């Protein structure tokens, strides 16, 4: 098996997938943070392609940055100044060439994640 990375974003406040949420992927090497790509979730709260497909997969430390504030604004969540959750970074390590699934459960006032399958 070779490695790849996926995500799924669920809007737990509305009980549905988070469509149209921008995600940035970064590779972390020491103090260096390199932007690899930007994707947007589809109507199922997933990206149309693997975030990191097999041919681009390397063991190491990565960061997914979820643009929660922009998403919350786009669905009409009453604004705050500043918004409680705006940018949600999740830094994680991939230590073997397998499927890594890093989902985000999101509401305006909290989030959680886990290593999924």
Overall average pLDDT of the 71-92 stretch = 96
Q: Tell me, which fold does domain 4-110 have in CATH? A: Immunoglobulin-like (2.60.40)
Q: Rounded CA gap, 71 and 77, in Å?
A: 9
- State how far the alpha carbon of 18 is from the alpha carbons of 42, 52, 94, 103, in Å: 8, 20, 25, 11
pLDDT in tens, 18-29: 999 999 999 999
Distance CA 10, CA 44 (A): 9
Give 88's pLDDT tier (boundaries 50, 70, 90).
Answer: very high
- pTM assigned to the model: 0.96
Residue 1 has pLDDT above 90, yes or no: no
Q: Work out the average pLDDT over 93-113.
A: 97
The domain limits of the chain are: 4-110
Residue 68 pairs with which residues in a beta bridge? Answer: none
Please compute the mean of the pLDDT values over residues 53-81 and round it to a whole number.
96
pLDDT attached to residue 117: 86
CB-based contact 67:20 (threshold 8 Å): no
């Amino acid at each position: 098996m070779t490695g790849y990375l996926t995500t799924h974003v669920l809007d737990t406040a509305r009980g549905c997938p988070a469509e149209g949420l921008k995600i940035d992927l970064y590779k972390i090497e020491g103090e260096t943070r390199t932007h690899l790509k930007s994707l947007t979730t589809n109507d199922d709260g997933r990206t149309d392609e693997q975030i990191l497909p097999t041919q681009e997969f390397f063991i190491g430390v990565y960061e997914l940055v979820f643009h929660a504030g922009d998403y919350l604004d786009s669905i009409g969540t009453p604004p705050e100044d500043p918004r409680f959750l705006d940018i949600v970074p999740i830094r994680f390590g991939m230590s073997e060439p397998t499927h890594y699934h890093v989902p985000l459960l999101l509401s305006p006032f909290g989030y959680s994640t886990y290593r999924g399958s």
